[in-house]
């Protein structure tokens, strides 16, 4: 047997060894890797501040990376601080697109584009724009922007739906081809988009802006190479990737050896609710090596709720990064010591043409949560609670004054809570773990679309209890003022996604309802719709596990299938309500200081009843009408907590 | 794009093919060959199932087993 010595840590390399490996000194390598991250961030800022379409301007639905040259195998030393879903896919996206096109066919002034989920990940609306960078005639790397286009054709305006059955319904697929050649637009490529996609008048300026920001990135990169030399630059590219490979390797080694299993699932697909889709994950740790085996997971769905193999890869990388190695930058080196055993044809590795991919994050976010669940015991106090998981996305379109409009991811349950950690309570208004975006402003939504956002607030008694409380579910009510078509896509309502850790409790599950105009007029008070049973009785369930009579949340109730009405065609003054899942708690709720429980009651995160039942804290007063007059009954609290503690033992 | 039908099995598994030999690192005879996804894309690995040491790693399909019809031109 050979004893393999652990490699010398980068920080332990002496000056000569460092220079021999990276062709520059340590200080230069550090400066250059920071500089590469500055460049991608600058490219993103340029796009954010100049974009017209709401999904770029108000959601930050794009990302930027730099990739090294083909002879280094396209490493990604720098990713932007933006949409996480793209950061993992873009390394392979650039490699796969450039290799198929042929790196030898690229010239200075080219921009290559590709949007095929089976080649580059995510969905067809996300076009990856790739700018080869040449220095003194040599291809030294790529600057890249992947950005969500408002529309990419297909049967659903804006594309967001869980009901499309194959790639042909899904939208235009673009294999790798040139969008610019010699810095001139390739008209046939632009026409391909404009002839197949809606809202070309918005796509045109946005793509031009993307092109300008690729040029910005190229110029900044060339200035950098000019100043520091091409060998230093290439050394820094490898240094940045090696460093994150090393920190992940060390993080894996800190885990105990073993096999850790986790599972999560989504409710169903867009055909019917006959089949749930389960992720099964087994994480095997041996020293500083890991294997993440997804065998035993469900086959692909029959409609566009699927994700692709690169989305699965991203979810694994991000899960491990969150849990084990959050402090070093994310690069393509992150997965160096990790192998993913991924059956092809699952609902997160769907195959063409019938494994339609659109709501890919709905499939890969449960994958991330399954890894969080698998490792929670091994991590002990470092475990992280589950989040609200499903984006509960709402997509609507119509025509106002003869002009078509489309809104996406603005008026559903797209923002919600995270799970708690050892560091504190969780935030309640975030994007799910695999994203990192903005919250579209209510004023902008109401200016752009015929709707009024009536509520955007936290729901009481939905947060997972814990010494550190999970985030509270978000409730969002939107009144639609004109006729419209809606697609609603909540996919994780059958069981909590916000699982508790380290003794913490699970968060609640959510649901979606619609009040038709007559029902809305009947239940509204000063425009607002309340939360009483009488109010829900007038609602039509969209999705969730609900009491069939009263339509209130009821774990013993019946599941209402989200796509039993594939398109909600509504009349003016119809209201949709989205309630997200709650986030998981961390630690034993009986150990939460009573003063913090009091504050949660005052702020209506929890009720007086929940304070007593889950936290063992007795509070007296009226949180609605006299929040500052609330008082803790310390004696009763101590008695209750003692009784609860003795019951546990 | 070639056509890949939906599986008739509800749950899917990666087949790990047994391979003759011994792990040079831990001495185990439990070696298997199967595709994995990692840094650099898809690899066909021969790997020790006890210590996860890779005896061999060769490139697998760029898109896994997905074949582009245009590659047959
Ligand atoms: Zn071994």
Q: For A367-424, what is the HEC assignment?
A: HHHHHHHHHHHHHHHHCCCCCCCCCCEEEEEEEECCEEEEEECCCCCCCECCCCECCE
Percentage of chain A lying above the pLDDT 70 cut: 99
Contact B39 A332 (CB under 8 A): yes
Contact A345 B27 (CB under 8 A): no
Nearest to A253 by CA among A278, A285, A210, A297: A285
Is pLDDT above 60 for A158?
yes
List, for residues B56-66, the tens digit of each pLDDT value: 999 999 999 99
DSSP A563: T
Q: Rounded distance, CA A463 to CA A376, Å? A: 19
Average pLDDT over all residues of chain A = 97
List, for residues A27-78, the tens digit of each pLDDT value: 999 999 999 999 999 999 999 999 999 899 999 999 999 999 999 999 999 9
Nearest chain A alpha carbon to B62: A96
Is pLDDT above 60 for A2?
no
According to the model, what pLDDT value does residue A646 have? Answer: 86
Does residue A65 have a cis peptide bond before it, meaning omega lies within 30 degrees of 0? Answer: no
Which helix (H) or strand (E) segment holds residue A47: the answer is helix A26-50
According to the model, what pLDDT value does residue A537 have? Answer: 98
Q: Is B68 on the interface with A (CB under 8 A)?
A: yes
List, for residues A9-39, the tens digit of each pLDDT value: 999 999 999 999 999 999 999 999 999 999 9
DSSP A346: B
A254 — phi, psi (to 5°)? -75, -20
ipTM of the complex model: 0.99
Place of tokens 């390739």: A186
Residues with CB under 5 A from ligand 1 (ion): B 23, 25-26, 28, 48, 50-51, 53
Is pLDDT above 70 for A3?
no
Is pLDDT above 80 for A528?
yes
Q: Rounded distance, CA A444 to CA A55, Å? A: 12
Q: A606, exposed or middle or buried, with CB in 10 Å at 0-12, 13-18, 19+?
A: buried
Q: Rounded distance, CA A445 to CA A1, Å? A: 65
Q: Which residues contact A423 (CB under 8 A, 6 or more apart)?
A: A468
Is pLDDT above 70 for A4?
no
Q: Is B15 on the interface with A (CB under 8 A)?
A: no
Q: Rounded distance, CA A295 to CA A615, Å? A: 39
Choose among A280, A286, A352: nearest Cβ to B51.
A286
Percentage of chain A lying above the pLDDT 90 cut: 98
Contact present, A305 and B12 (Cβ < 8 Å): no
Is pLDDT above 80 for A648?
no
Contact A335 B7 (CB under 8 A): no
- Show the tokens assigned to A224: 């950098």
- Show the tokens assigned to A68: 């090294």
Q: Rounded distance, CA A260 to CA A262, Å? A: 7
Which pTM value belongs to this model?
0.97
Q: Is A99 on the interface with B (CB under 8 A)?
A: yes
Cα A14 to chain centroid distance, Å, stands at 41
Is pLDDT above 60 for A367?
yes
Domain boundaries, chain B: 31-61
DSSP A525: B
Contact present, A494 and A559 (Cβ < 8 Å): yes
pLDDT band at A647 (very low <50, low <70, confident <90, very high): confident
Is pLDDT above 60 for A1?
no
Average of pLDDT values for A300-310? 98
List, for residues A376-421, the tens digit of each pLDDT value: 999 999 999 999 999 999 999 999 999 999 999 999 999 999 999 9
According to the model, what pLDDT value does residue B2 have? Answer: 82
Contact present, A236 and A327 (Cβ < 8 Å): no
Average of pLDDT values for A412-439? 96
Average of pLDDT values for A162-169? 97
Per CB-CB distance under 8 Å, the chain A contacts of B16 are 341
Report the sign of the C-alpha dihedral through residues A17, A18, A22, A23, in that order. negative
- Show the tokens assigned to A339: 């192998």
List, for residues A218-250, the tens digit of each pLDDT value: 999 999 999 999 999 999 999 999 999 999 999
List, for residues B1-57, the tens digit of each pLDDT value: 789 999 999 999 999 999 999 999 999 999 999 999 999 999 999 999 999 999 999
């Amino acid at each position: 047997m050979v004893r393999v010595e652990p490699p010398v840590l980068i920080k332990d390399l002496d000056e000569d060894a460092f220079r021999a490996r990276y062709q520059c000194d340590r200080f230069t390598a550090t400066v250059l890797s920071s500089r590469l991250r500055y460049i991608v961030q600058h490219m993103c800022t340029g796009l954010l501040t100049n974009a017209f379409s709401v999904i770029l301007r108000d959601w930050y639905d794009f990302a930027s990376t730099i990739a090294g040259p083909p002879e280094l195998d396209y490493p990604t030393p720098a990713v932007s601080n933006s949409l996480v879903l793209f950061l993992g896919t873009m390394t392979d996206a650039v490699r796969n697109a450039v290799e198929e096109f042929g790196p030898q066919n690229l010239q200075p002034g080219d921009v290559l584009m590709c949007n095929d989920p089976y080649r580059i990940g995510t969905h067809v609306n996300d076009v990856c724009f790739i700018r080869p960078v040449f220095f003194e005639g040599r291809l030294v790397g790529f600057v890249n922007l992947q950005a969500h286009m408002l529309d990419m054709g297909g049967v659903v305006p804006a594309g967001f739906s869980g009901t499309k059955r194959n790639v042909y319904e899904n939208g235009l697929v673009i294999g790798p081809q040139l969008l610019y050649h010699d810095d001139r637009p390739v008209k046939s490529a632009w026409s391909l988009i404009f002839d197949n996609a809606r809202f070309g008048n918005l796509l045109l300026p946005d793509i031009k802006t993307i092109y300008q920001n690729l040029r910005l990135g190229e110029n900044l990169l060339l200035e950098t190479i000019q100043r520091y030399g091409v060998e230093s630059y290439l050394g820094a590219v490898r240094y940045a990737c090696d460093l994150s490979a090393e920190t992940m390797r060390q993080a894996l080694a800190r885990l105990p050896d073993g096999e850790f299993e986790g599972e999560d699932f989504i409710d169903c697909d867009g055909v019917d609710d006959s089949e749930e889709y389960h992720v099964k994950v087994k994480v095997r740790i041996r020293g500083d090596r890991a294997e993440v085996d997804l065998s035993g997971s469900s086959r692909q769905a029959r409609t566009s709720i699927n994700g692709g193999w690169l989305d699965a890869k991203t979810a694994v990388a991000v899960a491990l990064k969150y849990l084990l190695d959050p402090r070093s930058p994310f690069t393509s080196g992150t997965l160096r010591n990790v192998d993913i055993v991924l059956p092809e044809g699952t609902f997160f590795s769907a195959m063409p043409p019938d494994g339609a991919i659109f709501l890919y994050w709905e499939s890969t976010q449960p994958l991330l949560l399954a890894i969080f669940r698998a490792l929670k015991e091994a991590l002990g106090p470092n475990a992280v609670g589950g989040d609200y998981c499903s984006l509960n996305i709402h997509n609507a379109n119509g025509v106002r004054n003869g002009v078509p409009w489309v809104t996406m991811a603005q008026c559903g349950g797209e923002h919600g809570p995270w799970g708690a950690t050892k560091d504190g309570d969780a935030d309640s208004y975030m994007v799910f773990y695999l994203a990192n975006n903005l919250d579209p402003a209510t004023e902008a939504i109401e200016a752009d679309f015929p709707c009024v956002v009536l509520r955007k607030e936290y729901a009481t008694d939905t947060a997972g209890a814990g010494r550190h409380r999970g985030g509270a579910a978000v409730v969002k009510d939107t009144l639609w003022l004109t006729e419209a078509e809606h697609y609603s896509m909540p996919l994780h309502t059958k069981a909590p996604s916000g699982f508790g850790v380290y003794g913490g409790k699970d968060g609640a599950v959510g649901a979606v309802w619609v009040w038709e105009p007559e029902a809305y007029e009947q239940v509204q008070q000063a425009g607002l719709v309340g939360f009483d049973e009488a109010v829900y009785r007038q609602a039509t369930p969209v999705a969730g596990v609900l009491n069939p009579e009263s339509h209130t949340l009821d774990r013993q109730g019946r599941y209402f299938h989200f796509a039993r009405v594939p398109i909600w065609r509504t009349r003016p003054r119809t209201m949709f309500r989205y309630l997200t899942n709650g986030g998981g708690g961390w630690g034993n709720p009986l150990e939460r200081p009573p003063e913090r429980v009091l504050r949660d009651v005052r702020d209506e995160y929890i009720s007086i009843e929940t304070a007593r039942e889950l936290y063992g804290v007795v509070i007296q007063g009226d949180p609605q009408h006299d929040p500052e007059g609330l008082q803790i009954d310390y004696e009763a609290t101590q008695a209750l907590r003692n009784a609860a503690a003795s019951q546990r033992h | 794009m070639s056509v890949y039908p939906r599986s008739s099995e509800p749950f899917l598994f990666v087949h790990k093919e047994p391979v003759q030999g011994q792990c040079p690192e831990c001495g185990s005879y439990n070696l298997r060959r199967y595709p994995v996804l990692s840094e650099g894309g898809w690899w066909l690995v021969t790997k020790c199932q006890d210590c996860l040491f890779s005896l061999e790693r060769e490139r697998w399909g760029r898109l896994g087993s997905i074949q582009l019809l245009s590659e047959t031109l």
